[in-house]
Amino acid sequence: MSVRVRFAPSPTGPLHIGGVRTALYNYLFAKKHQGTFILRIEDTDQGRFVPGAEEYICESLAWLGIEPTEGPTYGGKFGPYKQSDRKEIYHQYAFELIEKGKAYYAFDTPEELDLARKSSENDSFKYGVHSRMSMKNSLTLSEGESKTFIDSGDYVIRMLIPTDQDIKINDEIRGEVSFNSNELDDKVILKPDGMPTYHLANIIDDHLMEITHVIRGEEWLSSTAHHVLLYQFFDWNAPSFAHLPLILKPTGKGKLSKRDGAEFGFPVFPLTWARDGEESFPGFREAGMLPNALLNFLALLGWSPGDDKEIMSIDEMVELFSLEKIVKSGARFDIEKANWFNQQYILAMDESLIVEAITNQAIANGYDLTKLPYCVTMMKARVNNLDQILKDAYYLFEKPHQYDNDTFEKKYKPENKSHFNQIANILPEIGDKEAYETCIKSYISDSGCKMGDIFPVLRIALTGILQGPDLFDTFSILGGSEAKERILKLIN
């Protein structure tokens, strides 16, 4: 049987970075086994539906290069791939469970359930084996009473959890995990609006779509017992389960979430999410992160190939990937390491592609595009994300905004003023790095002044700061008259 895995996000907003990793692992696993990677949209909660979220998910996967081959916009013969389009299917199976005596109607109002919870100790109320007979449902009410509720459509369907049963799950990552059914609640599987809950929809779809491996976050581990039971109710074979460790906040206190980006100062979404009248979130793409660097970093957050290999292409990851190598414990998100990966990818990237990538930014700033290739050559080893190049090297395109006065005062000796004037005057109008280097160095040796007195000041004159690319490269890209102007401006 060929491997079929699915990534099943719900369109409630932008796709979180943890979701991206789940998608990645599913993708790697599918490719590794020449299987199929499927996208399924889990939009059973109409109240949480966010327009544009589905498009965002697809765009993110496309940007990262881990696209599904089956899904809403990708086609496939197991559709529809959006759960809201499968409502009737779930109905049919929910009623089948009622007929089989594996589920029942419940009529308790949300207020009544709330009350039951609040009046229990520590909110320990559970709608299950010990409490269902004192609640309002088709098990406790007369047939007539039940029928009245059912006819009015005011009901939910709950799964009937068996008593005293051990449910064992053989997780691909964690090994055997077991639950006792007495601790499980009678989960709602069909809501009053006619939509299924995640639990029902999920197992029906996985079965119908012939999913062989369910690879998802650890937050699902607890409810897997319910899912296994549901498979048993239907007499279906359950797929294999693999529950991934969670990606934690940098502090380790809790899983990384939506607003942690603002809290810790880095994106937690692949693409920027900005909608009118909505809270917006920055994305890695817009922050200058390369998709393969992000993937590489994410892959290693919870998995390792078993040796010391760290920089890997997607193909290499596919080759090396295995569920057994996935780590069991949660991993903190470390932006420093993500930046390092990005830097490595920038260093290895073809320079013409970098130029291409930052051209729009240069146009927006009104910069001279002919300088871009040279600028990239000079700057690429000095940044760890793409949009930092033009931010850091703005002085190659416009006059310095400000000067490092402390250093200037420390390095500039008024008695050298004439030397700077001289240098400014002998600069060739155009020339390569060597031309400027020869010109200035020979002046220095002829005049007997010290490099240490001259270079730092020239650097500040040209760029405003002390650190940056090679001084003579900077002269070359700026040209003689611009350099002269900047030198004269500073020393006068």
What is the footprint of RNA within residues 394-423 (CB under 7 A)? none
Q: Nearer to RNA by C-beta: 166 or 363?
A: 166
Residues 149-188 that bind RNA (CB under 7 A): 156, 174-175, 177-180, 183, 185, 188
Is 188 in a helix, a strand, or coil? strand
CB of 281 to RNA, least distance (A): 18
Task: Give the footprint of RNA on residues 235-254 (CB under 7 A).
Answer: 245-246, 248, 252-254
Chain-centroid distance of CA 123 in Å reads 34
Instruction: Give me the sheet containing 103-106, strands edge to edge.
Output: 103-106, 156-159, 188-190
- Radius of gyration over every alpha carbon of the chain, rounded to an integer in angstroms: 31
Residue 255 phi/psi, 5° resolution?
-75, 150
By CB under 7 A, name the one of 100, 147, 332, 391 that touches RNA: 332
Spell out, one character per residue from 427 to 466, where the chain touches RNA: x when CB under 7 A holds, - when not: ------------------------xx--xx--x------x
Helices (H), 129-170: 143-152
Smallest separation (angstroms) from RNA to the CB of 366: 25
160's CB contacts (< 8 A; 6+ apart) are 101, 102, 103, 104, 132, 186
Closest CB to RNA among residues 36, 476:
476
* Nearest by Cα to 323 from 304, 344, 343: 304
Stretch that binds RNA, among 93-101, 233-241, 325-333, 352-360 (CB under 7 A): 325-333
Residue 108 phi, psi (nearest 5): -65, 140
Q: How many CB atoms lie within 10 A of CB 405?
A: 11
Residue 374, amino acid: Y
Q: Which of residues 91-110 bind RNA (CB under 7 A)?
A: 108-110
- Smallest gap from Cβ 301 to RNA, in A, equals 5
Footprint on residues 266-285 left by RNA (CB under 7 A): none
Report the residue from 221, 290, 323, 376 that binds RNA according to the rule CB under 7 A: 221
Segments in 101-191 forming alpha helices (H): 110-118, 143-152
Contact 58, 25 (CB under 8 A): no
Q: Which residue has the tokens 């920038």?
A: 346
Number of residues that bind RNA (CB under 7 A): 83
Give the span between the Cα atoms of 396 and 413, in whole angstroms: 26
Scanning 65-73, 218-226, 227-235, 365-373 for contacts with RNA by CB under 7 A, the matching segment is 218-226
Distances (CA, A) of 203 to 83, 124, 175, 192: 12, 27, 21, 20
The residue type found at 411 is K
Q: How far is the CB of 232 from RNA (least distance, A)?
A: 18
- Give me the least distance between CB of 340 and RNA, in Å please: 4
Kindly name the residue from 82, 258, 371, 433 that is annotated as catalytic: 258
Using the minimum distance from each CB to RNA, give the nearer residue, 145 or 369.
Answer: 145
Size (the chain), residues: 492
Task: Report, in Å, the least distance between residue 1 CB and RNA.
Answer: 25
CB-nearer residue toward RNA: 249 or 275:
249
By the rule CB under 7 A, 336 interacts with RNA: yes
Interactions with RNA, residue window 350-389 (CB under 7 A): 381-382
State the minimum distance, in angstroms, from the CB of residue 33 to RNA.
Answer: 20
Taking the least distance from each CB to RNA, the nearer of 30 and 298 is 298
Cα distance between residue 474 and residue 464, in whole Å: 12
Binding residue (CB under 7 A) for RNA from 13, 330, 464, 480:
330
258 has catalytic annotation: yes
Q: Which of residues 10-29 bind RNA (CB under 7 A)?
A: 10, 12
Q: Distance between CA 201 and CA 189 in Å, rounded?
A: 8
Enumerate the active-site residues: 258
